Amino acid sequence: MDRTELNADYGYGLITERNTDQNKNQSMRDSPVTKNYKCRNMLHLAVENSPYAKVLLSAMKSSGCSVFNDRHFSCEDCDGTVSGGFDATSSQIVLCQNNIQQQSHMNRVVTHELIHAFDHCRAHVDWFNNFRHLACSEIRAANLSGDCSFSNELSRFNFGLKQHHQECVRDRALRSILAVRKISREEARKIVDEVFDSCFNDHAPFGRIPHSRKDAEFAYRDYMNRDRYYANL
Ligand SMILES: [Zn+2]
């Protein structure tokens, strides 16, 4: 897959092929060390402090998936406006150090890509041949990562009714698929529509749509208490 195909992405892409050595050389040449350091520092804060990331990492750990560590994350320079991607062949999450400037953005990208990693781990996703699998994970990532949360939408001057959350999720999933697969918009829309209801309602491992940090904190608390009795017996 040519990286330029990711240019039209909404900010996320499923990266299918990357020449890591080349990328490393490029980031050494083009970017100051500080950009990479800043990216890794924000990543560290996201993993340590974001309740969204903590739910996903805990869930992956208890599903027996390899727990993400430094080796599974890579801060790199990316083309266009891409913010990040999940490389399914190496199970590596790419964070675009040239396009992520704020901690809140980093938190969302890490969460979005961890949802793909979680799906990859639990569902044996066939990213390359089954468009329905890809569509489902993109719907879940848009729905659960906060990509379509109210404050994000507000900043895009797109606020509206509750129904709008669904439209935002549908739209972002569609754009993500079109960014990484050569299919028509109509074809992609049909696939998204076919799987939308079941994937939109699959809130694992959050148990709800975490619309805010508070929601995500509750989800984390519930997740950590999932094996306990609800009351003091
Ligand atoms: Zn995605």
Give 171-186 pLDDT, tens digit per residue.
999 999 998 899 999 9
Write down the domain spans for the chain. 3-212
Record the pTM.
0.83
Q: Distance, CA 16 to ligand 1 centroid (Å)?
A: 12
Alpha carbon of 223 to ligand 1 centroid (Å):
23
User: Are 115 and 56 a contacting pair, CB within 8 Å?
Assistant: yes
How large a percentage of the chain has pLDDT more than 90?
A: 61
The mean of the pLDDT values for the chain is 84
State pLDDT tens for residues 70-104: 789 999 999 888 999 999 888 899 999 999 999 99
Ligand 1 centroid–CA 116 distance in Å is 7
Active-site residue list? 113
Q: What pLDDT, in 10s, does the model give residues 221-233?
A: 999 998 776 655 5
Q: How confident is the model at residue 158, as a pLDDT?
A: 57
